[in-house]
Amino acid sequence: MKTYNTKTDKGVAGLTILLSLVTMLFVIGLLVMIFSLMGGEMRDATFTSTAVTGENDTVNATLFTTTGYTLTPTNTNGASGYSVTTLFNNTNEVLTAGNYTLTGAVLTNATALTGLTNVVVTFAYTYDAENTATGVMNDTTAGISSVTDWYPIFIVIGAMVVLILLTVIIISAIRGSGLMGVQSA
């Protein structure tokens, strides 16, 4: 690695400080990214799996008969493990399990029942619920991510330091050239 001597190397005034500033900003950005990714993964790992039973959904009868109706749970974060508790047709008759199929969250008409206008399904599922740990991790990750808001300030301070250093070097060069007379105190 080459070291710079400001007395013999011309035109490199402030270069080491500028390179240090760029390196510092890069390292800070890298650390912020790493900690934000780790915080996001830790947040995802701390959700509480919560079971919901007895949630109702009014099914679009046309979709139920043709392509299938996707159940719409109240809590969608990681929702899975759907099961139908009861399924009522428009005359409040309970449709038995042989009349429908449930694949994931999609409910379809298995026996091509016709004349359905309002179909109401009561279903159960599990989802990932927020808790104190996920809230703390979310706040921490947001706090770490806000460090990059300081980048413009770092850049301005670094530029000021380089300009001050250049001014000192220029004044020293003018004094050393003999253009200025020596003043007595």
Residue 3 forms part of a structural domain: no
**Which 8-state DSSP code applies to residue 112?**
-
Inside any domain, residue 2: no
pLDDT, the chain, mean? 79
Confidence band of 4 (pLDDT split at 50, 70, 90): low
Same-domain check for residues 72 and 85: yes
Cβ-contact 74, 52 below 8 angstroms:
yes
Is residue 98 a contact partner of residue 113, using CB atoms and an 8 Å limit? no
Domain-embedded: residue 32: yes
pLDDT of residue 149: 83
Q: Is residue 184 assigned to a domain?
A: no
**164 and 142 belong to one structural domain:** yes
Yes or no: say if 82 and 123 are a contact pair by the CB < 8 Å rule. Answer: yes
> Is the pLDDT confidence value at 182 over 70?
no
Domain with 21, as residue range(s), is 15-44+133-173
pLDDT band with cut points at 50, 70 and 90 for residue 140: confident
Total domains, the chain: 2
Q: Are residues 146 and 106 in the same domain?
A: no
What average pLDDT does this structure show over 37-64?
A: 81
- Beta carbons of 109 and 103 less than 8 angstroms apart: no
In a domain, 8, yes or no: no
Claim to verify: residue 77 and residue 27 sit in the same structural domain: no
Count of helices and strands (H, E) across the chain:
4, 6
63 and 103 inside one domain: yes
- 39 occurs within a structural domain: yes
Last residue of a domain, one of 95, 111, 129: 129
* pLDDT (0 to 100) of residue 8: 58
159 and 111 in a common domain: no
Rounded CA-CA distance 26/21 in Å is 9
**Mean pLDDT calculated for residue range 118-125:** 85
Kindly indicate the confidence band of residue 104, based on its pLDDT and cuts at 50, 70 and 90: confident
Q: 75 and 91 in one domain?
A: yes
Indicate whether 83 and 26 sit together in one domain: no
Strands across the sheet containing 48-60: 48-60, 118-129, 80-88
Q: How confident is the model at residue 14 (pLDDT cuts 50, 70, 90)?
A: low
Residues 124 and 138 in one domain: no
- Say if CB 60 and CB 53 are below 8 A apart: no
Same domain? 117 vs 79: yes
Q: Is the pLDDT of residue 183 over 70?
A: no
Q: Are residues 64 and 40 in the same domain?
A: no
Q: Is residue 183 part of a domain?
A: no
* Mean pLDDT across 3-13: 58
Residue 103, pLDDT > 60, answer: yes
- Same domain flag for 73 and 143: no
Of all residues in the chain, the percent with pLDDT exceeding 70 is 86
Q: Write out pLDDT tens, residues 142-177.
A: 888 887 788 888 888 888 887 888 888 788 777 777
* Cα 69 versus chain centre, distance: 31
Tell whether 110 is covered by a domain: yes
